[in-house]
Amino acid sequence: MRSFAFAAAYWILSITYGLTAAFAALVPGRGATGWIIRRYVKRMVQAMRLLAGIRIQVRGRDRLPEGAFIIASKHQSWGDGFATYDQFPDLAFVTGDHLEKFPLLGTVLKKLGAIVVNNCGGREARESLKQRGADAHREGRRILIYPEGNLAKVGEKFRYRSGVWHMYRDFDMPVVPLASNLGLFWPQEAFRKTPGTATLEFLDPIPTGLGKEEFLVRLEAAVETRTAELIAEARGGPVIPAVRVLAPDEAAKAARAASAS
C-alpha cells in the first residue's frame, strides 16, 4: 500500500508541477521555473517520507567548500536527484537526453539550465558538458553529475566516465564526492519501496589540479568505498565492495561485436 500511495502521489505531483513549470518557462529568466521545481522537489521528498516511509539523512555538509563546486554522486535510485537537489537553493545538474522524450520536459530542463548530454557519452557529450557547464560555472552554481552515467543496482558499479574530469579541469572547480545508500529503499526505478532511513554523505572535496587517471581513481575509491560502508551500516552486515559490470551502452556494444564475429 505504501508503494501504491507513493506512486499515485509521484504522478500527481509530477504532472501538476511539470505543467506549471512548462507554463512558467514562458516567463523571462529562470526564477519562476526554478521556484516551482524547488517546490516540486520538496513535495517529492515529503511524499517519500510520509507515504513511502523513506527518510533522508544527510551527513557531511560541513565538508562543502565555499563558492561553486561539482558534486559527483553515486546513482542507485531515481530518488537520488530529488534528495540531492533538495539540499541546495540553485543546483545545476547533468542529465541524460532520455528525459527529453517526455512532453514539455525538454523546455523545462533548458529553462533550468540543466546540462543535457548523450547517455552514451563520446565527443558530443563532452562538448555539451563543456558548453552548458560553462554557463553554470559563470553563474557560480553548484553542478551535480553522476559519473557512472547510469542507475546502478545496489552492490554494482559501472565504469566512471571522464566527463566529470573534463569539467573539473576546464572550470578549475573542486569536486565533492557524494555517497548514498538510497538504492536499498528505492532501488533504481522500482515500484516497490522499503521504509527506512537512507543516508547521503558528502565526502572530502577533491582539490583541483589532479591528472585524469589519478582524479578518476580517487573519485571512484571515495564514492564506492563509502557507499559500501553506508549499505553495510543500514543492513547491519559486513562491508561488501561493489562489483564492476558493463553499462547498458557497453553491453550493447559487446553484444554487437559478438554477433558480428
Specify the length of the chain in residues.
261
Separation between Cα atoms, residue 116 and residue 125, nearest integer Å: 8
User: What grid cell was written down for 183?
Assistant: 538504492
Residue 43: strand, helix, or coil: helix
Specify the pLDDT at position 102.
62
Specify the pLDDT at position 94.
85
Is the pLDDT at 157 greater than 80? The verdict is: yes
Write out pLDDT tens, residues 214-230: 999 999 999 999 999 99
In the block, residue with C-alpha cell 547510469 = 150
Query: Which of the residue ranges 10-19, 38-47, 122-131, 239-248 would you say has the lowest mean pLDDT?
Result: 122-131
Sorted by where each starts, the structural domains of the chain and their CATH numbers stand as: 55-240 (3.40.1130.10)
Is the pLDDT at 104 greater than 90? The verdict is: no
The answer to whether the CB of 92 falls within 8 A of the CB of 136 is yes
Separation between Cα atoms, residue 71 and residue 218, nearest integer Å: 14
Specify the pLDDT at position 30.
82
Query: Position 111: which residue type?
Result: K
Instruction: State the pLDDT confidence band at 124, using cuts at 50, 70 and 90.
Output: low
Task: State what percent of residues in the chain have pLDDT above 70.
Answer: 90
| Mean per-residue pLDDT of the chain | 88
Write out pLDDT tens, residues 19-52: 999 888 888 888 888 899 999 999 999 999 999 9
Write out pLDDT tens, residues 194-206: 999 999 999 999 9
